[in-house]
Copies of this chain bind each other. A is one copy, B any other.
Amino acid sequence: MEFLELLLKWVEILGTAAFAASGAMVAIERGTDLFGVLFLGIVTALGGGTLRDILLGEFPPRMFYSYSYLCIAAATALIVFIAAGALSKKYHEKYDLINKICNYFDALGLAVFSVTGVTYAIRAGFFDNPFLCVFLGMTTGIGGGVLRDMMTGAVPFVLKKRIYAVAAIVGSLLYWVLLRVSLSQFSSMGISVAVVFLIRVLATQFCWDLPKIEEHTS
């Protein structure tokens, strides 16, 4: 069990860093300054968990206590900023590659954040409310990205492409069900995280999208 906790911790750190990197990359694209890069990195990494804590009525939100995640998010955003400045044109040439690598971490982050979201909802005493558990799992997973997009005036990515939120919902629901049928937390977590990760990687690889009304501009 201790091994799981440790593993989860490390995966959560990777996820935080990946989310922060995605926020920082969007900020750079939008032409913000260094503060904007750090701010959007932190909002993307910690926003989902903060929204979850607000909806659970837990104040002040956890981000004010777990400095480690804050520092990881800020450091990652700073590294992205420095790297983008140092690489300059190369940053833009390698953008697709960097983005691809980030995507794997992001998938891991989404998977872990969704599961931890459900865990916190259960700890707050809402195991009997599957809708709340799944909704807060999803919120923890996608909330940071939605805030990032709202702050940069874009239609949230999550509403448009690649089975993103649905992966978080599937994983959160699966985790809740597995716990409900009394599978161990270890196995439930491992399976759910793996499923979300796989869905996201496959969806990106094969460009899976949900159905969409295409004729809307005709």
Q: Mark A65-86, 1 if CB is under 8 A from B, else 0.
A: 1010010000000000100110
Q: Mark A100-119, 1 if CB is under 8 A from B, else 0.
A: 00000000000000000000
Separation of A64 and B126 alpha carbons in the complex (Å): 10
Asked whether any CB of chain B lies closer than 8 Å to the CB of A218, the reply is yes
Contact of A159 among B64, B65, B92, B151 (CB under 8 A): B151
Q: How large is the interface on A (under 10, 10 to 19, 20 to 34, 35 or more residues)?
A: 35 or more
Specify how many copies of this chain sit in the oligomer. 3
Separation of A153 and B131 alpha carbons in the complex (Å): 28
Separation of A178 and B31 alpha carbons in the complex (Å): 35
Q: Are B159 and A36 in contact (CB under 8 A)?
A: yes
Stretch of A2-10, A13-21, A192-200, A209-217 at the chain-chain interface? A209-217
Asked whether any CB of chain B lies closer than 8 Å to the CB of A11, the reply is no
Q: Are B55 and A210 in contact (CB under 8 A)?
A: no
A127 to chain B, nearest CB (A): 13
Contact of A155 among B65, B81, B153, B159 (CB under 8 A): B153
Asked whether any CB of chain B lies closer than 8 Å to the CB of A61, the reply is yes
A114 to chain B, nearest CB (A): 15
Residues of B within 8 A of A65 (CB): 129
Name which residue of chain B comes closest to A133, CB basis: B64
Separation of A150 and B210 alpha carbons in the complex (Å): 23
Q: Are A160 and B32 in contact (CB under 8 A)?
A: yes
Known contacts A60-B56, A131-B64, A210-B35; decide if A159 and B27 are in contact (CB<8 Å): yes
